[in-house]
Amino acid sequence: MKELKTKSIKDLEQKMAGIDSESIRGLILQNAKSFKTSWISLGQALYTVWKDKLYKEWGYEKFETYTAKEIGIRRQTAIKLLRSYSFLEKEGPLYLKKDYNEETDAAAVPTYESVDVLRLASNKKELPPEDYSAIKKGVLEMGKDALSAKRDITTFMRQREEIEPEEAWQKRKITLVKRFLSTLKSLIQEAKSSKMISAQSLKDTDKLVTKLETEIS
């Protein structure tokens, strides 16, 4: 797992010196210091800070300003932490138990990046439930990193295309037609505004758009 890079341990320790270690603010600083194995606790605490807007009480106008300046976490990372923690509440409540995290080898603890990959995979309609379950097991039980999880998803998707080539071809066709339609509609609007194409040509193009929309409906 990745350690915090944008804020040194020394900086965090200096901040911790003047803050009550039992307060939520102090706990977040402690969790940030040991980010490798405590991102779940950090995500949970940050979720509370974000939801209750506690950062305003500490002199920060925005959540991302607080995470960047006080604990050295970029906005993108903070959002991933929030989303990954929220996802685990639904998909892997076991990993939110403090005693489990303390007893488990750090290598088997899933990273927030891998959990975020799993979260995105859960929204893929083309990924069968059994394949998703296998990916979920790899991340939550075996501690697979984000790159390995992405490779698993790609492998399962390719296998599915080999088993159902016609369905895969239809999906690629629809995706291509949608991209073509989007570009075509944009060009049509530009042509109408500039009045550089004849009315008849624009009419014929509109018919093409209608025909293509029928093909993918």
What integer pLDDT is reported at residue 119 of this predicted model? 93
What integer pLDDT is reported at residue 65 of this predicted model? 93
Q: Is pLDDT at 138 greater than 50 in this prediction?
A: yes
CB 48 within 8 A of CB 54: yes
CB 40 within 8 A of CB 95: yes
For the entire predicted model, the pTM comes to 0.58
What lies within 8 Å, CB to CB, of 59 at 6+ separation is none
Once rounded to an integer, what is the mean pLDDT over residues 6-31? 71
For 24-39, how does the pLDDT look when each residue is reduced to its tens digit (9 = 90+)?
888 887 776 666 567 8
What integer pLDDT is reported at residue 108 of this predicted model? 64
For 166-198, how does the pLDDT look when each residue is reduced to its tens digit (9 = 90+)?
666 677 778 888 888 888 888 888 888 888 888
Domain boundaries, the chain: 1-92, 110-163, 166-216
d(CA 117, CA 148): 10
